[in-house]
Amino acid sequence: MQAAIYTQTGTTDVLRIVERDPAEPGPGEVRVKVIRSAVNPTDWKSRSSSTLAFPEVVPNQDGSGIIDAVGDGVLDVKVGDRVWVILAAHQRPTGTAQEFTVLPADRVALLPDNASFDLGADLGVPAITAHRALTTSEDGPSRLAPEALAGRTVLVAGGAGAVGNAAIQLARWAGATVVATVSSEEKARLAAAAGAHEVINHRQGDLVERLRETAPGGFDIVVEVAPAVNLQADLEIIKPRGTIAIYANEGGDTVTLPVRSTFTTNARLQWILLYTVGQEALVNAVVDINRAVADGAFKVGQEHGLPLHHYALTDIAAAHQAVEDRVVGKVLLDVADPQSAVAAGS
Ligand SMILES: NC(=O)c1ccc[n+]([C@@H]2O[C@H](COP(=O)([O-])OP(=O)(O)OC[C@H]3O[C@@H](n4cnc5c(N)ncnc54)[C@H](OP(=O)(O)O)[C@@H]3O)[C@@H](O)[C@H]2O)c1
């Protein structure tokens, strides 16, 4: 099989395509025939970091495909099942940028029948992060479902990003009123297509004033991608006992907070890192996300606010570069034809 690897960290030049024998799944493991491998910012950040986690790394956390073999003791999935994968390369050397990947069985989830492999490859990092951001508030909810966020107002910063898109779709499905910020007209159209009730260009006018006009009562939850830029504004519009859920450091890595005016908000700053949320949060997110997908409330593509950019596995360097260059939408590697999964599963 073909696999993309790197044996030293650095620019996209370190990525190479090699031939490997597919690994056999051990006890409690499954082998997935990969159909789509998705590239997230975390994948290029790991590739270009100063530390090589394993002597040889197959990148990419997210993907979708079909179960091709199961090890002893695997009961929840069987050969032929369509699946999406969860944190494939976390603390493991082999991610989804290869034709077959072996994973612990608890790192795959069944893909609902109505979901494409393209959608399945977008569900891991972006949707689970968005689920976490929407479920850590003092006054709940701890799970997402229709009406779980009814009566709540959610602000999604960067609503045309992959996580932002997922946050808008999940919050809408759960019944929230959703406001998104973006930096351009093109991104405004995408955030609206994802389902945001109101979209504000954060580069035009006074952001706090415009957020107050849009939601005079304030926001229950802020899903924040750029705290160094936005936190002061967030603190001005958050409701008492509201949550500012911070999952990235876009726009700067340092935040300075005035203590008194911050504690008078009675709000919560919830820091998020997917790699350490714990198994229970991951499992709950997977169940709720799959329900949203099955309900037809979570989709991908330009018409749902997330343009897709397809690359061949052999073009992984260009795919990683596109994400590093902040392409708008989702970058996918077409590792196999979806029709091959139909044939294998039938
Ligand atoms: N903590 C975690 O576990 C976790 C999980 C997933 C992702 N992340 C991180 O989250 C970030 C986004 O990931 P992604 O996959 O969604 O990337 P993406 O699709 O490239 O989106 C990035 C978004 O950041 C937004 N942004 C940048 N500056 C902004 C500002 N001042 N105000 C509002 N939005 C701003 C951009 O929106 P505008 O151009 O419209 O402003 C853009 O849409 C990355 O840094 C990634 O590493 C962290």
Which amino acid is present at 41?
Answer: P
pTM: 0.98
The number of the ligand 1 atom at minimal distance from the alpha carbon of 229 is 31
Q: How many residues does the chain have?
A: 346
Q: Which residue, 130, 149, 92, 165, is CA-closest to 274?
A: 130
Q: Which residue, 92, 162, 96, 89, is CA-closest to 123?
A: 162
Helix (H, G, I), strand (E, B) or coil at 224: strand
> Looking at ligand 1, which residue's alpha carbon is closest to its atom 24?
158
C-beta of 61 in contact with ligand 1 (< 6 A): no
pLDDT in tens, the chain (346 residues): 999 999 999 999 999 999 999 999 999 999 999 999 999 999 999 999 999 999 999 999 999 999 999 999 999 999 999 999 999 999 999 999 999 999 999 999 999 999 999 999 999 999 999 999 999 999 999 999 999 999 999 999 999 999 999 999 999 999 999 999 999 999 999 999 999 999 999 999 999 999 999 999 999 999 999 999 999 999 999 999 999 999 999 999 999 999 999 999 999 999 999 999 999 999 999 999 999 999 999 999 999 999 999 999 999 999 999 999 999 999 999 999 998 765 554 4
C-beta of 41 in contact with ligand 1 (< 6 A): yes
Neighbouring C-beta atoms of residue 214, cutoff 10 Å? 17
Q: pLDDT value at position 151?
A: 98
C-beta of 202 in contact with ligand 1 (< 6 A): yes
**Could you check whether 2-122+306-345 and 126-275 share the same CATH topology?**
no
Residue 336 is encoded by which pair of tokens?
């196999």
C-alpha to C-alpha distance for 235 and 168, rounded to whole angstroms: 20
Q: pLDDT value at position 345?
A: 43
C-beta of 248 in contact with ligand 1 (< 6 A): yes
CA distances from 236 to 136, 232, 251, 265, 306 (A): 20, 7, 19, 8, 30
- Contacts of residue 221, Cβ cutoff 8 Å, sequence gap at least 6: 133, 134, 137, 149, 152, 153, 154, 155, 171, 176, 242, 243, 244, 245
The model's pLDDT over 292-331, given as tens digits with 9 standing for 90+, comes to 999 999 999 999 999 999 999 999 999 999 999 999 999 9
Task: Name the CATH superfamily, with its identifier, for domain 2-122+306-345.
Answer: Medium-chain alcohol dehydrogenases, catalytic domain (3.90.180.10)
Mutate to test the pocket of ligand 1, among 40, 48, 250 (most ligand atoms within 8 A of CB): 250
Q: pLDDT value at position 341?
A: 63
Q: CB pairs under 8 A, 24+ apart, for 253-259? A: 253/228, 254/228, 255/227, 255/228, 255/231, 257/231
Backbone φ and ψ of 51, nearest 5° = -115, 130
| Residue 17 β-bridge partners | 4
Q: What are the residue boundaries of the structural domains of the chain, listed by start?
A: 2-122+306-345, 126-275
From the options 3.40.50.720, 3.30.460.40, 3.20.10.10, 3.40.50.880, give the CATH code of 126-275: 3.40.50.720
